C-alpha cells in the first residue's frame, strides 16, 4: 500500500510578542525643552505675539533644531504657541505657573539626575557607560535613563558615542580646579568689558534685568539649583558676549559647562543669591552708563567675592590639627 503523505500543519503559529516601540530619541529632551521655553517666557514676561525662532532657541539651549521644533509643536497642540505659514512660531497664550502647559520637573527624576552627577564626580562611574549599565545600577527603566541622558547632553557633560554607549565630558572635580576656573574668569570677564567696540544690545540688557528681577521676586527660593546656575551662567555669558570676541565667549561657555556639576553640590545659603542679583543689576547700570572701566573693576570685585564664598563651601574639611613638633630654623 502506498503510504499517505501527511498534510502540512496549517495551524496558525503564534506570533512573537511585539517589541514595544523605542522611545524616540528626542522625546524626553523635547518635553523638557517645552517646559524650559515656557519658564523662560514667564521670567521675561513675554507678551502674546512674541516670535519664538527655532534657530535662536536651538543656540540658546545648545541643541539641534529638531527637538526645538518638536517642543514647539507640542506647545502648539496645547494652544500655547501658534505657527504662522512661512513665519515660524509665535507665543499665543502664556499659562500661569500651575495652570497647565508642560509638566514640572519630576522631583524623583531630579534626585536620580543629581545622584548620577555625584557618582560621576566621585569616580564611581567609568568615563564611558552604557544604557544597560545605568539601568541596572540605578534600578530604573530605559526610558527614564534616556530622558536623563538627553538632559545631560543638553547641559554639556555627556555625549553619545558613535557606536554604542555614552562618554562623560571633562568637568571640574576638585576645589583646586574650581579655584583655577574662578581665577581664569577674573582675568577674562573684566577684560571683555574693555574690548574695543564693546556693546551690550538693549534687548539683551532688558532680558537680563527681567531674569534678575524674577530671581529677586522669589525665584531665589523657588528655582532649582540647575535653574539658578543657568540664570547666573547665562548672565555672565551675555555680558562677555557684548565684547564680540568669539574666543572669550567660547572660553567662558566651556568653563561654565565644566563647573556646573561641582556647583550642583554646593549647599549654599540661598539668601546670598539676593546680593548676587543686586550686584548683577548694578553691573548692568554701569555698562548702560558707558562707564566701562568702573564696570570692569566692579565685575572683578563681584567675581572675587563669589569665589571666596563658594570656595569655603566647596573645600574639603580640614584635617585634624596635629600636635606641634619641633620648629625648623627660619620657618615662618
Where b means 16+ CB within 10 Å and e means fewer, 61-85 reads bebeeebbbbbbebbeeeebbbeee
Instruction: Report the alpha-carbon distance of residue 302 to residue 294 in Å, rounded.
Output: 12
Here the cell at position 143 is 526610558
Contact 174, 184 (CB under 8 A): no
Residue 180 has pLDDT above 70, yes or no: yes
- What is the predicted pLDDT for the residue at 238? 92
Q: Is residue 326 very low, low, confident or very high in pLDDT (cuts 50, 70, 90)?
A: very low
pLDDT number for residue 240: 95
What are 75's three cell numbers? 506647545
pLDDT-based confidence at 152, cuts 50/70/90? Answer: confident
Q: For residue 216, give the DSSP letter.
A: I
- Please tell me the distance from the alpha carbon of residue 119 to that of residue 116, in angstroms, as a whole number: 5
- Domains of the chain from N-terminus onward: 27-91 (1.10.10.10), 107-168 (1.10.10.10), 175-314 (1.20.120.530)
User: CA-CA distances (angstroms) from residue 179 to 173, 229, 240, 273, 323?
Assistant: 11, 17, 20, 20, 30
pLDDT value at residue 127: 92
pLDDT computed for residue 17 by the predictor? 43
Tens of pLDDT, residues 94-112: 776 545 445 445 667 778 9
pLDDT above 80 (res 303): yes
| C-alpha–C-alpha distance, residues 274 and 212, integer Å | 9
Residue 51 neighbours by CB distance under 10 Å: 12
Phi, psi for residue 91 in degrees, rounded to 5: -70, 130
Q: Please give the grid coordinates belonging to residue 259.
A: 563647573
Say what the pLDDT of residue 22 is: 44
Evaluate whether 61 touches 33 at the Cβ level (below 8 Å): yes
Amino acid at each position: 500500500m502506498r503510504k499517505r503523505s501527511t498534510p502540512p500543519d496549517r495551524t496558525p503559529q503564534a506570533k512573537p510578542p511585539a517589541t514595544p516601540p523605542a522611545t524616540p530619541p528626542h522625546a524626553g529632551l523635547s518635553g523638557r525643552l517645552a517646559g524650559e521655553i515656557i519658564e523662560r517666557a514667564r521670567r521675561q514676561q513675554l507678551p502674546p505675539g512674541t516670535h519664538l525662532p527655532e534657530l535662536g532657541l536651538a543656540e540658546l539651549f545648545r541643541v539641534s533644531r529638531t527637538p526645538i521644533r518638536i517642543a514647539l509643536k507640542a506647545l502648539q497642540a496645547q494652544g500655547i504657541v501658534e505657527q504662522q505659514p512661512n513665519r515660524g512660531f509665535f507665543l499665543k497664550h502664556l499659562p500661569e505657573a500651575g495652570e497647565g502647559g508642560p509638566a514640572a520637573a519630576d522631583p524623583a527624576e531630579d534626585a536620580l539626575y543629581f545622584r548620577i552627577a555625584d557618582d560621576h564626580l566621585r569616580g564611581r562611574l567609568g568615563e564611558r557607560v552604557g544604557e544597560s549599565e545605568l539601568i541596572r545600577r540605578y534600578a530604573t527603566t530605559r526610558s527614564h535613563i534616556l530622558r536623563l541622558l538627553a538632559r545631560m547632553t543638553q547641559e554639556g557633560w555627556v555625549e553619545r558615542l558613535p557606536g554604542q554607549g555614552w562618554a562623560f565630558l571633562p568637568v571640574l572635580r576638585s576645589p583646586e580646579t574650581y579655584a583655577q576656573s574662578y581665577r581664569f574668569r577674573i582675568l577674562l570677564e573684566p577684560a571683555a568689558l574693555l574690548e574695543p567696540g564693546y556693546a551690550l544690545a538693549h534687548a539683551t540688557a532688558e532680558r537680563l534685568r527681567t531674569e534678575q528681577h524674577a530671581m529677586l521676586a522669589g525665584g531665589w527660593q523657588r528655582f532649582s539649583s540647575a535653574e539658578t546656575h543657568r540664570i547666573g551662567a547665562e548672565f555672565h555669558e551675555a555680558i562677555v558676549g557684548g565684547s564680540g570676541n568669539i574666543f572669550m565667549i567660547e572660553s567662558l561657555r566651556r568653563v561654565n559647562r565644566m563647573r556646573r556639576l561641582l556647583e550642583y553640590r554646593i549647599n549654599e545659603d540661598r539668601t546670598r543669591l539676593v546680593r548676587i542679583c543686586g550686584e548683577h543689576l548694578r553691573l548692568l547700570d554701569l555698562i548702560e552708563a558707558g562707564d566701562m572701566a568702573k564696570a570692569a573693576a566692579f565685575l572683578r570685585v563681584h567675581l572675587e567675592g563669589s569665589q571666596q564664598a563658594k570656595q569655603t563651601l566647596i573645600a574639603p574639611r580640614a584635617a585634624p590639627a596635629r600636635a606641634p613638633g619641633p620648629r625648623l630654623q627660619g620657618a615662618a
